Amino acid sequence: MQTEVDTLWEYYPPKAEKNMAKILKIIQEKNLILRKKAEPVKDPNSAEIKELIADMIATMKDANGIGLAAPQVGVSQSLFVVGLEDKNYVFINPIVKDISDDETLFEEGCLSVQKIWGPVVRPKKLTIKAVDENGNPVKIRAKGLLARVIQHEMDHLDGKLFIDKAEKIYTIEGQRS
Ligand SMILES: [Zn+2]
């Protein structure tokens, strides 16, 4: 005769803890990692990349940012995240094409260049092709703020900062240059 046995979990597997995203340190303007061209991500499906993505999204939200590129957390790999209107986008090994001729001026700031803003001219629309956090190919025709953030983050992957392109640079105190 079989007796039914209720299972008593004496402990919970440490799964929840393992999935907790970490807040990473955002490196700043003078750090040369920000000036390097990022390497392609070899395996977008690796556990390391999945963990990095989760940590980057948490770090971006924690800093009230709308975009964050891997070099900004000291990882020189071709990957960035965008968070707009409660939607998160992940772009791994992105390529931008079909850039529009019409341009627009917009005030930018950067989590790696704190307390500084400046107007930057950029094309209004573009198409981005990349791989997402599940390893699936994505293709998005972007305009407005999304197109703006994508171009700012693509620059990070190229070792460029918005202050290289800004027409003027402002600090809280006033104009810097
Ligand atoms: Zn930035």
Q: Which of 85, 108, 153, 173 is catalytic?
A: 153
Q: Could you count the other beta carbons within 10 Å of the beta carbon of residue 40?
A: 11
Of 54 and 176, which is predicted with more confidence? 54
The predicted-structure confidence for 109-154, as pLDDT tens digits, reads as follows 999 999 999 999 999 999 999 999 999 999 999 999 999 999 999 9
What residue type is assigned to position 120 of the chain?
V
Span from the CA of 149 to the centroid of ligand 1 (angstroms):
9
Judge whether 81 and 65 are in contact, CB under 8 Å. no
The predicted-structure confidence for 43-85, as pLDDT tens digits, reads as follows 999 999 999 999 999 999 999 999 999 999 999 999 999 999 9
Decide yes or no: CATH 3.30.870.10 for domain 22-171.
Answer: no
Span from the CA of 12 to the centroid of ligand 1 (angstroms):
40
pLDDT of residue 172: 75
pLDDT of residue 173: 75
Is pLDDT of 9 > 60? no
Question: Rounded to an integer, what is the distance from CA 165 to the centroid of its chain?
Answer: 19
Q: What is the dihedral of CA 120, 63, 14, 47, to 10 degrees?
A: 10
Span from the CA of 8 to the centroid of ligand 1 (angstroms):
50
Span from the CA of 74 to the centroid of ligand 1 (angstroms):
13
> Starting from the edge strand earliest in sequence, which strands make up the sheet with 113-123, in order?
103-110, 113-123, 170-171
SS3 169: coil
Is pLDDT of 15 > 60? no
What residue type is assigned to position 176 of the chain?
R
Span from the CA of 158 to the centroid of ligand 1 (angstroms):
12
Domain limits of the chain? Answer: 22-171
Active site residue 29: no
Kindly report the pTM of this predicted structure.
Answer: 0.87
Q: Is 98 left (phi over 0), alpha (psi -120 to 50) or beta?
A: left
Judge whether 175 and 48 are in contact, CB under 8 Å. no
pLDDT of residue 41: 98
What is the distance between the alpha carbons of residues 143 and 30, in angstroms, rounded to a whole number? 31
pLDDT of residue 29: 93
pLDDT of residue 20: 84
Backbone Cα Rg of the chain:
20
